[in-house]
Amino acid sequence: MIKNNKHRCTFFFTMTMLFIFSGCGSSNDEAASSSDPEAIRESQISELESSDLIGNVEAYAVIQGLLAEGQAPIPAKIFIIENDESVEEGAREKYVYSPHYLDLPEELQAKSDSEMNVLVKLRRYYMETGTYSNEGIAYTRYVQITIMDRAAGTIIHEETMIGSAPFSISEDQSAGYGYVPEYQVLEKILAYFGYAEE
């Protein structure tokens, strides 16, 4: 009888310890994944794709408004779209959601169509700005930022960012491009909403 009790106690002790350690392990895994930038990004994308914001991108793209520079509504709940540059030249312009939306502070991100009161439209394009000695063409990047108060139906801010001078090219290249760094586009948007660069 005493032997049975000893075995039983040993068994329960072992199982209890396994349970505790396996529980700790899973919470550590959860903590690790919650601090993993890629896991966080994937979670944000999944949440976005299950919202009604994605389904309304085409409707957002055609929204127009009168220019009336002013302050954003408070609190501002933002969604960002941008033109799809994979669309062939001459075809009707198409818009998609912008990855910059995922880089906004949590408190600025609209989570649904009904919550979104500020629409940011980014339009990116290149313009020919010169030629090279080998007759190659120099292009400069432009990014037009349009910020709209959805409820008021007005454009509350609009500006165009101009890229760097086109880079030099080799003799066998036919074109060179100047760029607007993506981080600068995000900084411009955040600055309008009062998020100064640290």
The answer to whether the beta carbons of residues 120 and 108 sit under 8 Å apart is no
Please name every residue paired with 130 in a beta bridge, in sequence order, or none if there are none.
Answer: 138
- By DSSP bridging, strand 95-97 and strand 118-131 are unpaired
Q: In the chain, what are the domain boundaries?
A: 55-192
Q: Which tens digit of pLDDT belongs to each residue from 67-123? A: 999 999 999 999 999 999 887 766 678 999 999 999 999 999 999 999 999 999 999
Q: How many CB atoms are located within 10 Å of the residue 78 CB?
A: 24
- How far the first Cα of the chain sits from its last, in Å, is 71
Q: Which tens digit of pLDDT belongs to each residue from 123-168? A: 999 998 888 888 889 999 999 999 999 999 999 999 999 998 888 8
Query: Which phi-psi region, left, alpha or beta, contains residue 90 (left: φ > 0; alpha: ψ -120 to 50)?
Result: left
| Cα 21 from Cα 26, distance rounded (Å) | 9
pLDDT of residue 6: 47
The answer to whether the beta carbons of residues 179 and 163 sit under 8 Å apart is yes
Residue 13 reports pLDDT greater than 60? no
pTM for the whole thing? 0.75
